[in-house]
């Protein structure tokens, strides 16, 4: 087998690093024949050498290929309210999470995972496509913690089954941890942790044991917690320590620069970043 040029990288990885979407999104564009390299329609598996400055076009628009060392990895923590979708455009005119984010020049925000329209809570965004891809990939088993309100009584057997695993249409799933947090009347609260993040996974797991979820709030991604002072529909930029925690979590090199001012960096990071984040259930009942 011919040895590949060490300087080549998969096209979807290059474009993800440039901030044009996650690898999965780029692969979908390649499959749809919307990407070309030097005038030739790209195919899945294509590799390029960015040193040669190839002419890459997405839907006919030329994509500038910048050296990676000029890019600064940025990460936002956004408090997604219910009613917003995680797509940039919606033909039905629904509100989108991207509308409230700061504008970027020569880059774009990439959401690290998704929350469905009826789920609120922590949603991370980054300018680094590779970071987004690795944090979302199931093999890295990055924890996502949720506060769940369910309707009706929940038996010990149902909790045991959710911890052991249930069968969903896209394969088996289990909570890494599940703990009761009390409640009033027929409304019961639980904290649950998953490590995959499949579409509507938490809701579907509860439905698999016959329990209806009436509210779902994500409070943690990895060790990045939803800041209690952050209002719905607003964001805060993570400092260098938190960004590098995420990068180290998925074996990426350390970032040395930040867009935050000196004064902004002096704010206590413990409000966002915690080794063992504690979830205050009452604080989340807004």
136's enclosing H/E stretch is helix 129-136
State the angle between helix axes of 23-31 and 129-136 in degrees (0 to 180), rounded to the nearest 10: 100
The length of the chain is 286
End-to-end CA distance of the chain: 60
Query: What is the Cα–Cα distance from 161 to 208, expressed in whole angstroms?
Result: 10
**Residue 69 is a catalytic residue:** no
Strands 120-126 and 212-221: parallel
Which one from 49, 116, 170, 248 is the annotated catalytic residue?
116
Query: What is the Cα–Cα distance from 152 to 84, expressed in whole angstroms?
Result: 27
Backbone angles phi and psi of 249, in degrees to 5: -60, -30
Q: Give one DSSP letter per residue of 219-263, joined into a string.
A: EEETTEEPPTTPPTT-EEE--HHHHHHHHHHTT-PPP---SS-HH
Query: What is the Cα–Cα distance from 37 to 276, expressed in whole angstroms?
Result: 46
Positions marked catalytic = 116
């Amino acid at each position: 087998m011919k040895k590949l040029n060490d300087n080549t990288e998969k096209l979807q990885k290059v474009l993800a690093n440039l901030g044009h979407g996650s690898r999965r999104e780029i692969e979908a564009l390649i499959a749809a024949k919307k990407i070309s390299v030097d005038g030739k329609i790209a195919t899945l598996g294509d590799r390029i050498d960015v040193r040669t400055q190839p002419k890459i076009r997405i839907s006919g628009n030329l994509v500038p290929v910048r050296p990676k060392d000029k890019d600064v990895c940025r990460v936002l923590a956004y408090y997604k309210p219910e009613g917003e979708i995680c797509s940039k455009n919606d033909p039905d005119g629904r509100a989108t999470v991207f509308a409230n984010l700061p504008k970027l020049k020569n880059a774009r925000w990439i959401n690290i995972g998704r929350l469905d329209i009826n789920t609120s809570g922590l949603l991370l965004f980054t300018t680094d496509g590779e970071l987004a891809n690795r944090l979302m990939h199931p093999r890295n088993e990055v924890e996502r913690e949720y506060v769940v309100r369910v309707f009706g009584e929940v038996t010990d057997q149902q909790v045991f089954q959710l911890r052991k695993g249930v069968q969903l249409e896209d394969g088996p799933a289990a909570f890494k941890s599940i703990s009761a947090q009390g409640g009033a009347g027929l409304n019961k609260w639980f904290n649950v942790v998953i490590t995959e993040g499949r579409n509507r996974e938490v809701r579907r797991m509860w439905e698999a044991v016959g329990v209806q979820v009436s509210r779902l709030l994500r409070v943690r991604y990895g060790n990045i917690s939803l800041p209690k002072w952050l209002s719905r529909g607003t964001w805060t930029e993570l400092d260098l320590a938190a960004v590098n925690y995420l990068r180290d979590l998925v074996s990426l090199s350390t970032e040395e620069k930040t867009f935050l001012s000196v004064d902004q960096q002096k704010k206590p990071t413990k409000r966002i970043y915690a080794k063992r984040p504690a979830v205050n259930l009452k604080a989340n009942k807004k």
